[in-house]
Amino acid sequence: MKTALITGCSSGYGLETARHFHEHGWNVIATMRTPANGALPPSDRMRTLALDVTRPESIAAAVEAAGPIDVLVNNAGIGLLGAFEATPMATVRELFETNTFGVMAMTQAVLPQLRERRTGVIVNVTSSATLAAFPLVAAYTASKTAIEGFTASLALEAAELGVRVKLVEPGYGPGTRFAANGAARMNGLITPPYAAYAQRVFAGFAGGGPVTTGADVAAEIFRAATDGSERLHYAAGPDAVALAERRAAR
């Protein structure tokens, strides 16, 4: 029976992905900063571990407690919406610590065991913001785009070791806690010069159209982890798929 370690499982895509792997018969190690009871099904195939991907000692403890794993899903991330001009550089660095350096640190911590066994998969979750330009998410997009480049390069060297590395790019998911989890961080980032523009942007988001669900993302992460191919990119959700197809047609 295979084991997946999934980061950022307290809500949203990570929580849905943990459930999905479990439903398909996997052992799941669901990690989050503050483990909570009740969100995940009680099972001897479901373990919850504390993990803060910005702290090396937390990463080391979680990886040691997890034991051998077959798939690492780097899903943990934080969001940011606002005018870049108004965004403190400390906030930008906080974003990169989780969305970029956290992914790299987790990958570096798990790669040795995958290399030694010459098998395994690493799935890095980014965003459809890497597929097309969106307003008011410049810093967030930068943190995710960095992982796109990182993953594409890493996939080449990891393939020599028998390890596959994948990218899953979710679309806009209004059902996630993106805004709620980042509310304090985003406070004051829509300043008066940008207010009218932001209102038009927000109206566009609320205007309908296809969106991405947690089930969409979980299914695509599972597909990336299990299809056995050398494919790198997996758009998740109908809006993300449309963007990926539009980019490919250029």
Contact 9, 32 (CB under 8 A): yes
* Through-space distance between the first and last CA atoms of the chain, rounded to whole angstroms: 42
What's the pLDDT score for residue 205? 78
What's the pLDDT score for residue 60? 98
CATH number for the domain spanning 108: value is: 3.40.50.720
What's the pLDDT score for residue 27? 98
| Average pLDDT for 226-230 | 96
What does the pLDDT look like over 81-129, one tens digit per residue?
999 999 999 999 999 999 999 999 999 999 999 999 999 999 999 999 9
Place of tokens 């790669």: 111
Is pLDDT at 149 greater than 90 in this prediction?
yes
What's the pLDDT score for residue 77? 97
| Average pLDDT for 31-42 | 88
DSSP at 129: G
What's the pLDDT score for residue 137? 96
Give the structural domain span for 172. 3-248
List the catalytic residues. 140
Contact 83, 142 (CB under 8 A): no
**Which segment, 17-31, 183-197, 199-213, is predicted with the most confidence on average?**
17-31
Contact 182, 80 (CB under 8 A): yes
What does the pLDDT look like over 156-195, one tens digit per residue?
999 999 999 999 999 998 877 655 566 678 899 999 999 9
What's the pLDDT score for residue 181? 61
DSSP string, 15-68: HHHHHHHHHTT-EEEEEESS--SSSS---TTEEEEE--TT-HHHHHHHHHHH-S
30 DSSP β-pair partners: 6, 48
What's the pLDDT score for residue 178? 58
Total domain count, the chain? 1
What does the pLDDT look like over 38-79, one tens digit per residue?
789 899 999 999 999 999 999 999 999 999 999 999 999 999
